[in-house]
Chains A and B, each alone.
Chain A
Amino acid sequence: MYVIIGNSAAAIGAVEGIRQMDESSQIVIVSDEPHHTYSRPLISYLLLGKTNEQLMKYRPDTFYENNNVTLLAPHRVTAIDPTEKTISLSSESKINYDKLLVAAGSSPFVPPMTGLDTVEKKFSFMSLDDARALERAVDDQSRVLIIGAGLIGLKCAEGILGRVRSVAVVDLTDRILSSILDEKGAAIVRRHLESKGVSFKLGTSVDNFEVNRAALKNGEHVEFDALVLAVGVKPNTGLVKALEKDKPLVNRGIITDTKMRTGINDIFAAGDCAESFDISLEANRVLAVLPNAYMQGETAGINMAGGNAEFNKAMPLNAIGFFGCHVLTAGSYVGDKIERSEGETYRLFFAQDNLLKGFMLINSPNRAGIYTSLIREKTPLDNIAQMIFDDPSLAAFSRAERKSMLGVVRYA
């Protein structure tokens, strides 16, 4: 029996991976959320009214039935016993596994902040229930304060802005989206968000809260009716960490190899709780983005079912948009910069050792995957016409290379 802890992209990838190898054996998914699998990044689109709970289902209603999956939800897993090969649930029942996947995701990280306990309406923004709770708590007179100008905080700002009186965002860093953008890129997106009505207090943090008033360290005060905490996330590694004896099983995320195996036999890990080898940085790190989660999960699933799959294409990959301003980034920002920007269009590339390592594209999304592929396939840049940095095209490749792209069956 296959057991999967988690019910998001990595878990679904694992089911689909297992089913490539094994059409019938039972799969059990244990999830602490009482929902059909849904797309987590869509919760901001739900607030915007661009999707609904039916459309945001990550797989069709028939998914579990068609794949012979038993969904146990809501149930929390409290422990793994790798000797007995069981997991324990909070209901005190136990489930046996032959192969186990930990796809437990991540949780909001909330640093200690003075007076936070006096704030009545405070929310995270990571789950469907979070989004619904926030939605219920605000109206068109609400002032919303968001702590954190990262991907989650700003998607929340976009989602909620049209429903409330005001949205202010505070971040300790002096620019927004600091994990994926440099100063110049961040300024473009910030101007766009400001033009839509979001206000920012950057380079400062909350000194203390007092009911519905935040005192910032820069001396300013912000009054609010609802508080969203989007400072960061931490991988849910506890179940595996508890099994650590001689060798480490967890760094920042659960340590995995390219087959998504953990350090313990028959236990795999995938998704936001796991680390993988970032081919653009050539180092292990947590890559908490959905495409990686799915592909890690699929790889784990194939291997759990006796196959031989490797996921060796992991890298950061972010496609995010705010009110029509599209930000696409990939890879790592190392090496020499190549810039092709104009006005509010930002195109910055990073090259090292004749390889493309990363890029940021703002308001210039089309055909960006051609660049992603250069990083992923480690294509030597001196084999490609330099015009590719002006405009992504297959014309920049040699005719022979193009024939292999357009004239034969492509696996990816």
Chain B
Amino acid sequence: MRRIYVNEEWCLGCHLCEYYCAFAQTGGASMALALKDKQINPRIHIEDAEKYDSKGAEVHFAVSCRHCVEPYCVKGCITGALSIKDGVIQIDQEKCIGCYTCVLSCPYGCVAPADDGKVMQKCELCLNTTSGEPQCAKNCPNAAIVYEDRG
């Protein structure tokens, strides 16, 4: 199955993936109109580490849901809001009551509160958007995020 993979050595730390992620969720036609003056709350996050690799370069990388084969978030979900459909971990925000059990379970820190803080949100590979494919990978300028099948 195709999933998001991260090539840390290529990440520029530009944060464009976060903007494309937030934009995909709006379903709008123009990023500028959709996101101008908005505080974005994307489902992918760039970690800008205050440390340097062996060559002295700054460390940046993107983190989003791994769509684990045996996901602790789904198994632990107390409401049944999280489920796996065709390998993609999805959340039913109507069922979610924001208990944070998934946040406590995810080893990657990839389930986080939605804007109102009352329910959770996570990467659903843009299947929940009109864009059809993960916009973070599609718009990454340096192939630091890719959407491909690695088994």
Residues of chain A touching chain B, judged by Cβ–Cβ distance below 8 Å, are 9, 13, 39, 41-42, 45, 50-51, 55-60, 290-291, 294-295, 298, 317-321, 324, 326, 328, 330, 365-370, 372-373, 376-377, 385, 387, 392-395, 399, 402-403, 405-412
In the A-B complex, the 5 residue pairs with the smallest Cβ-Cβ separation, listed nearest first, are: A367-B109, A291-B76, A395-B49, A373-B107, A369-B106
Contact A394 B63, beta carbon cutoff 8 Å: yes
Of all chain A residues, which has the CB nearest B149?
A: A409
A230 to B30 Cα, complex, angstroms = 54
**B140 at the binding interface (Cβ < 8 Å):** no
A412 to B108 Cα, complex, angstroms = 10
* B45 CB to nearest chain A CB (Å): 9
A60 to B117 Cα, complex, angstroms = 25
Contact A393 B47, beta carbon cutoff 8 Å: yes
**B147 at the binding interface (Cβ < 8 Å):** no
B residues within 8 A CB of A410?
66-69
**B138 at the binding interface (Cβ < 8 Å):** no
Of all chain B residues, which has the CB nearest A412?
A: B70
For B90-102 the 0/1 string (1 means CB < 8 A from A) is 0000110111111
Contact A395 B51, beta carbon cutoff 8 Å: yes
Contact A317 B51, beta carbon cutoff 8 Å: no
A295 to B117 Cα, complex, angstroms = 27
Known A368-B104, A412-B69; contact A294-B51, beta-carbon cutoff 8 A: no
Contact A369 B70, beta carbon cutoff 8 Å: no
Question: What would be 14 A-B contacts, judged by CB atoms less than 8 Å apart?
Answer: A9-B78, A39-B78, A291-B75, A298-B75, A318-B104, A319-B101, A328-B100, A366-B112, A370-B108, A394-B47, A395-B49, A399-B59, A405-B108, A412-B70
Contact A294 B109, beta carbon cutoff 8 Å: no
**B131 at the binding interface (Cβ < 8 Å):** no
Contact B63 A406, beta carbon cutoff 8 Å: yes
The segment from B3-11, B19-27, B32-40 found at the interface with A is: B3-11
Interface bin, chain B: 35 or more
B residues within 8 A CB of A291?
72, 75-76, 78, 101, 105
A387 to B50 Cα, complex, angstroms = 10
Contact B76 A42, beta carbon cutoff 8 Å: no
Known A294-B76, A395-B49; contact A368-B103, beta-carbon cutoff 8 A: yes
Of all chain B residues, which has the CB nearest A405?
A: B108
Name A406's contact: one of B66, B78, B99 (CB within 8 Å).
B66
Of all chain A residues, which has the CB nearest B106?
A: A369
Contact B80 A367, beta carbon cutoff 8 Å: no
Known A13-B75, A409-B69, A409-B150; contact A369-B80, beta-carbon cutoff 8 A: no
A residues within 8 A CB of B7?
407
Contact B99 A407, beta carbon cutoff 8 Å: no
Known A45-B97, A409-B69; contact A319-B51, beta-carbon cutoff 8 A: no
* B7 CB to nearest chain A CB (Å): 7
Contact B100 A409, beta carbon cutoff 8 Å: no
A residues within 8 A CB of B50?
387
Q: Which of B3, B71, B79, B108 has the most CB of A within 10 A?
A: B79
Known A58-B79, A370-B107, A395-B47; contact A319-B70, beta-carbon cutoff 8 A: no
Contact A402 B8, beta carbon cutoff 8 Å: yes
* A158 CB to nearest chain B CB (Å): 12
Contact B150 A319, beta carbon cutoff 8 Å: no
Known A41-B78, A411-B68; contact A326-B100, beta-carbon cutoff 8 A: yes
For B104-136 the 0/1 string (1 means CB < 8 A from A) is 111111011100010000000000000000000
**B56 at the binding interface (Cβ < 8 Å):** no
B residues within 8 A CB of A367?
103, 106, 109, 112
Known A328-B100, A366-B103, A395-B47; contact A405-B66, beta-carbon cutoff 8 A: yes
Contact B8 A406, beta carbon cutoff 8 Å: yes
A356 to B81 Cα, complex, angstroms = 30
For B55-87 the 0/1 string (1 means CB < 8 A from A) is 000010111001111111101101110000000
* A410 CB to nearest chain B CB (Å): 4
Q: A298-B75, A328-B104, A369-B103 are in contact. List 19 more A-B contacts (CB 8 A).
A: A41-B99, A42-B97, A55-B94, A57-B80, A58-B80, A291-B101, A317-B76, A369-B109, A370-B108, A370-B109, A393-B49, A394-B63, A395-B61, A399-B8, A405-B108, A409-B69, A410-B68, A412-B70, A412-B72
